[in-house]
Amino acid sequence: MGSEINRRDALKRAMAVGLVAIPSASVLTACATSSGGDKNKPVATGTKSAANPLGVKNGAPLEAFVFKGGFGDDYIKSAEAVYNSTYGTTVKHTGTQAIGPKLQPRFANNTPPDFMDNSGADNLDTAALAKEGKLLDLTPLLNAPTIDDPSKKVSDVLIAGTVQQGQFGSQAMYALNYAFTVYGSWYSNKLFKEKGWTYPQTFDEAIALGAKAKAAGIALFTYPGKYPYYVHFDMFAQFGKVGGKDVLNAIDDLEDGALQVDAVKQVVQYYEELAAKKLFLAGSEGKTHIQMQTDWTKYKAALVADGSWVENEAAPTMPKDFDLAVGPLVGGGPSDKLPFGTVYAAAGEPFIVAANGKNPAGGMELLRIMLSKKQTDNFTNTIKSLTCVQGAADGLTLTPGLASASAALKAAGDNVLNARIQDWYVKLNNETIGNLTAQLLTGQINAAKWIEQAQKACDATKKDSSVPKFKHV
């Protein structure tokens, strides 16, 4: 999965490893609404049947443009091979980290590719494109029978929340988020066992653990100062753990004063204390996510806020006996609205189909193929990540990190949070509030100033008519 996420997503992240700043929604919207190109180009349509429920035209060209980040793109090529043999064609495949720069002109000219993996730091603004009518409503895909069991519709086999993650203010689903990401503070079981440490449940316990780690010459946390919004993977979900889902929803909905509540103050003051006690690895403010992961896998820091893609992305430097694990959200304690064991998890890695592409049925069919057992097994076995299909990992031999993420998600039950501000308002989260978080973690501002300025930023976004708005339904 991409690690520079709009949700990795993350964001993302459904998450990304591209390193270019995300353009603002207004820029993307301007591109998306520009005129030009052949608006009346022929669309490939075939005859619908039980074997071809979406009506794919045999032999019709299909262009796939995909993000090649932490997940690579071999898993998509595997599905494309099935599509090629089924429909007598060869998918034109492009793998890149520069999704935005390469596709913005094509959307502006109304010549987009059919099928896209819109992930990475340099992704397109899915919300803006959906609002402008540039993306295909994937409802026909949801209503189509699955490949493995035609008695079940695609919508029947998706993990709860997957459809909602791809909706933007309407019942239509414009993005299928393929990977299911568990976020949290990741650590080495080996290190914790050797040091006799216990994963903290509360902010006070985390501060105490930080003191122990510091005495051992190890920082409690490291983070990518180049992309400080990674810290939001924990921080924003902690707002919801401490104050309840309504607090998190109010922030997503840009409600007046949403950040000026006790739950937010308690969480942000915790990060202020971490900075004041110098429990972040020195130099983190200048690191990329890859450099952060490398320091962590070298045991320079005990914890990193990241998504479950980290097992695959950090594999080049992770020791074989690292014994990767993820911990649930740390909170204030018994007074929290949600219990210890609550996690932040969401469908990520958004796949989209262009509304005015040449082969929209083919784009949806490729997604249907990707949701088959053969393809989800391939993804989980090779990428070490869960997919959005219910029970897809059952019976598979899971790696330590993936097994930990799966167990954490199962233990959380209904106590699963998802901060939508990170994909509804990408620039606000990643850049504006992200810059404030960077200052907080280096002690340049205190918690009160972070809250004041973050609330002003949310208010400004709410008043900006050029930014599409969304609300929980």
* pLDDT, tens digit, 9 for 90 and up, residues 131-176: 899 999 999 999 999 999 999 999 999 988 899 899 887 789 999 9
Which of the listed residues 302, 325, 344 is the one where a domain comes to its end?
344
Residue 34 has pLDDT above 90, yes or no: no
Which of the listed residues 314, 344, 374 is the one where a domain comes to its end?
344
Query: In this predicted structure, what is the pLDDT of residue 4?
Result: 38
Domain around 284: 183-344
Q: What is the mean pLDDT of residues 435-447?
A: 98
Asked, for residue 394, whether it belongs to a domain, the answer is: yes
Q: Tell me: do 332 and 383 sit in the same domain.
A: no
Q: Tell me: do 51 and 136 sit in the same domain.
A: yes
Q: Tell me: do 339 and 266 sit in the same domain.
A: yes
Q: Tell me: do 326 and 362 sit in the same domain.
A: no
Q: What are phi and psi of 3, to 5 degrees?
A: -100, -20
**Cβ-contact 324, 385 below 8 angstroms:** no
Asked, for residue 16, whether it belongs to a domain, the answer is: no
pTM: 0.79
Q: Tell me: do 57 and 105 sit in the same domain.
A: yes
Asked, for residue 177, whether it belongs to a domain, the answer is: yes
Q: Tell me: do 54 and 191 sit in the same domain.
A: no
Q: Tell me: do 161 and 48 sit in the same domain.
A: yes
Across 378-412, b (16+ Cβ under 10 Å) vs e yields: bbbeebbbbbbbeebbeeeebbbbbbbbbebbeeb
Which of the listed residues 410, 443, 464 is the one where a domain comes to its end?
410
Q: Helix 262-276 vs helix 447-463: angle between axes, to the nearest 10 degrees?
A: 130
Q: How far is CA 172 from CA 138, 157, 163, 452, in A?
A: 7, 18, 9, 35
Structure tokens at 319: 């020791």
Sign of the torsion formed by the C-alpha atoms of 187, 189, 190 and 195: positive
* pLDDT, tens digit, 9 for 90 and up, residues 243-266: 999 999 999 999 999 999 999 999
**Cβ-contact 54, 144 below 8 angstroms:** yes
Q: Residue 314 is which amino acid?
A: A
Q: What is the mean pLDDT of residues 380-393?
A: 89
Q: Residue 113 is which amino acid?
A: P
Q: Position of tokens 């006070």?
A: 204
Q: What is the mean pLDDT of residues 423-440?
A: 94
* pLDDT, tens digit, 9 for 90 and up, residues 205-257: 999 999 999 999 999 999 999 999 999 999 999 999 999 999 999 999 999 99
pLDDT band for position 42 (cuts 50, 70, 90)? low
State how many domains the chain has: 2
Asked, for residue 446, whether it belongs to a domain, the answer is: no
Residue 37 has pLDDT above 90, yes or no: no
Structure tokens at 90: 């060869």
What is the rounded CA–CA span in Å between residue 316 and residue 176? Answer: 29
Q: How does DSSP assign 442-462, residue by residue?
A: TTSS-HHHHHHHHHHHHHHHH
Question: Using DSSP, how many helices (H) and how many strands (E) does the chain show?
Answer: 21, 10
pLDDT band for position 470 (cuts 50, 70, 90)? confident
What percent of the chain lies above the pLDDT cut of 70?
A: 91
Query: In this predicted structure, what is the pLDDT of residue 49?
Result: 96
What is the rounded CA–CA span in Å between residue 413 and residue 416? Answer: 7
Query: In this predicted structure, what is the pLDDT of residue 161?
Result: 84
Residue 18 has pLDDT above 60, yes or no: no
Q: Tell me: do 228 and 338 sit in the same domain.
A: yes
Asked, for residue 13, whether it belongs to a domain, the answer is: no
* pLDDT, tens digit, 9 for 90 and up, residues 397-407: 999 999 999 99
Q: Tell me: do 147 and 115 sit in the same domain.
A: yes
Residue 82 has pLDDT above 50, yes or no: yes
Give the HSE-up count for residue 269: Cα atoms under 13 Å, Cβ half-sphere: 13
Q: Tell me: do 234 and 113 sit in the same domain.
A: no
Residue 363 has pLDDT above 70, yes or no: yes
> CATH code at 79?
3.40.190.10
Q: What is the mean pLDDT of the chain?
A: 90
Residue 39 has pLDDT above 60, yes or no: no
Q: What is the mean pLDDT of residues 83-92?
A: 98
Instruction: Extract long-range pairs of 205-211: CB within 8 Å, 24+ residues apart.
Output: 205/330, 206/270, 206/274, 206/330, 207/270, 207/273, 207/274, 207/277, 207/279, 209/302, 210/274, 210/277, 210/279, 211/277
Asked, for residue 421, whether it belongs to a domain, the answer is: no
Q: Helix 434-441 vs helix 262-276: angle between axes, to the nearest 10 degrees?
A: 50
* pLDDT, tens digit, 9 for 90 and up, residues 346-359: 988 999 999 999 99
Q: Tell me: do 166 and 276 sit in the same domain.
A: no
Q: Tell me: do 78 and 128 sit in the same domain.
A: yes
Asked, for residue 175, whether it belongs to a domain, the answer is: yes
* pLDDT, tens digit, 9 for 90 and up, residues 283-328: 999 999 999 999 999 999 999 999 998 998 899 999 999 999 999 9
